[in-house]
Amino acid sequence: MKINIYYGGRGLIDDPTLFVINKMQSVLEELHVEVERFNLYEQKNSITTLPQSLKTADGIILATTVEWHGIGGFMTQFLDACWLYGDKEKISKIYMCPIVMSTTYGEREGKLDLTVAWEILGGLPCSGICGYIAETSVFERSENYNTIIEKKAENMYRTINQKLESLPASNQAVKKMVSFTKTMDLTPQESEQLSVYASDDSYVRTQKEDLQELTSMFRDMMGYEEEGSDSREEYIKEFKEHFTPQSGINAVYRLNIEGKKKPLIIEINGPRNEYYYGNVEESDVDISISKETLDDIVYARMTFQRAFMGGLIKIKGDFKILRALDLLFTFMEDGQYV
């Protein structure tokens, strides 16, 4: 026989729930029961995969502490994962013993909440334990309390061993009539794999990035232009009109303008020059620039070099080739700013 313990508290030293499950675990192990414990606070990033661990269990203990209200977030996440990814056929054969200790108020409601949740999942309930314990030292001073815990562990063992049945619960009938969830036609193995992916933050992040890339690609394929057709010629006229050829300068500039889908490419080959929005495999200088800063440059309120020195643009590449931009494009009149 195997029993899994799922502890949904925060692992505090004076948590009374820890005393109870430690006591129950020792009693069950004396009865030659294999016991495996899962501390949900230690596995908070992989809670969605924990329903897989139910496959080898004959019974489980759901243990949590009411510190201010309700059964706590970790236990709720685990039950949600059981509903979304758990093997319902396997759950229908698993007995569950709820243990809820309270340091404030609400232990009875918490125990009932766990029982109802497990019954809605289709599982089998066992008699549980709940109580208000202000200090764990209470257990050490009371033999009667220890006896109650030991008897509960023995009753759970007996219930599972003899496969005792319980009377049908009304929430099962209500569930069949009105509680339908959207389901996918997945095998238990596929659901298990899905839960692994759902708990993998890097996988989820990669999927989001892939979706964004696909969205951008399809927009390009459909000829979608977010900025309007006129924006495809923006700044090109200004650069053409103010071009001053310089001997010995051959360079490719890529201007990544904030708000533009594609960079502005400027190709200089002696007296020849070409401008377009697109991309190139290699460029001599990559420039990241805002529209406001570029407006200041083309309207002679700023130079590329001053913008760079002022931290208004970022570049990658040869700084000497960047300085050549102010020679190639003379936006200023008689060397003066407007």
> pLDDT under 50 in the chain at which residues?
179-180, 224-229, 334-338
The closest alpha carbon to 64, from 2, 116, 21, 123, belongs to 21
Domains (ranges, CATH) in the chain? Answer: 2-197 (3.40.50.360), 231-328 (3.30.1050.10)
Residue with tokens 């996440």: 77
pLDDT for 1 equals: 93
The closest alpha carbon to 111, from 34, 17, 176, belongs to 17
Would you say 51 and 85 are in contact if contact means Cβ atoms under 8 Å apart? yes
pLDDT for 229 equals: 46
Would you say 57 and 91 are in contact if contact means Cβ atoms under 8 Å apart? no
pLDDT for 309 equals: 84
Would you say 293 and 302 are in contact if contact means Cβ atoms under 8 Å apart? yes
CA distance 321 to 246: 12
CA distance 97 to 59: 8
3-state secondary structure at position 219: helix
pLDDT for 198 equals: 60
pTM: 0.56
Hey, what amino acid is at 265? I
